[in-house]
Amino acid sequence: MSEKIEIKKLNLFYGDFHALIDVNLGIPEKRVTSIIGPSGCGKSTLLRCLNRMNDLVEGVRVTGSIKIDNIEVCSPNTDLISLRQKVGMVFQRPNPFPLSIFENVVYGLRISGTNKRSVLEEVAEKSLSEVLLFDDLKDKLSDPALGLTLEQQQKLCIARVIAMRPEVILLDEPCSTLDPIATLKIEDLMQILKKDYSLVIVTHNMQQAARASDTTCYMLLGEMIECGETKDIFTAPKDKRTEDYISGRFG
Cα separation, 78 vs 144, whole angstroms: 35
Near ligand ATP in 2-41, by CB under 6 A = 14, 17, 19, 37, 39-41
3-state secondary structure of 190: helix
97, interface contact from Mg ion, ligand ATP, other proteins, none, CB < 5-8 Å by kind: other proteins
Residue 75 is a binding residue for ligand ATP (CB under 6 A) = no
CB 83, min distance to other proteins, A: 8
Closest distance of CB 7 from ligand ATP, Å: 15
Identify which of residues 23 and 212 has a Cβ nearer to ligand ATP in the complex. Answer: 23
What's the residue count for the chain?
Answer: 251
57 sits near ligand ATP (criterion: CB under 6 A): yes
Sheet containing strand 215-220, strands side by side: 87-90, 168-172, 198-202, 32-36, 215-220, 223-229
What residue 14 binds from ligand ATP, Mg ion, other proteins, none (CB within 5 to 8 A, per partner kind)? ligand ATP
42 is a site residue for ligand ATP (CB under 6 A): yes
Which residues of the shown chain bind other proteins in the complex (CB under 8 A)? 51, 53, 56, 80-85, 88-89, 91, 93, 95-99, 107-108, 110-112, 146, 157, 160-161, 164
Helix or strand holding residue 229 (H, E): strand 223-229
Type of residue at 61: R
β-bridge mates for residue 172, sequence order: 202
Taking residue 21's Cβ as centre, other Cβ atoms within 10 Å add up to: 16
Angle between the 150-162 and 180-193 helix axes, to the nearest 10 degrees? 20
DSSP annotation of 41 reads S
Nearer to other proteins, 51 or 203 (CB): 51
Rule CB under 6 A: say whether 43 interacts with ligand ATP: yes
Residues engaged in binding ligand ATP (CB under 6 A):
14, 17, 19, 37, 39-45, 57, 204
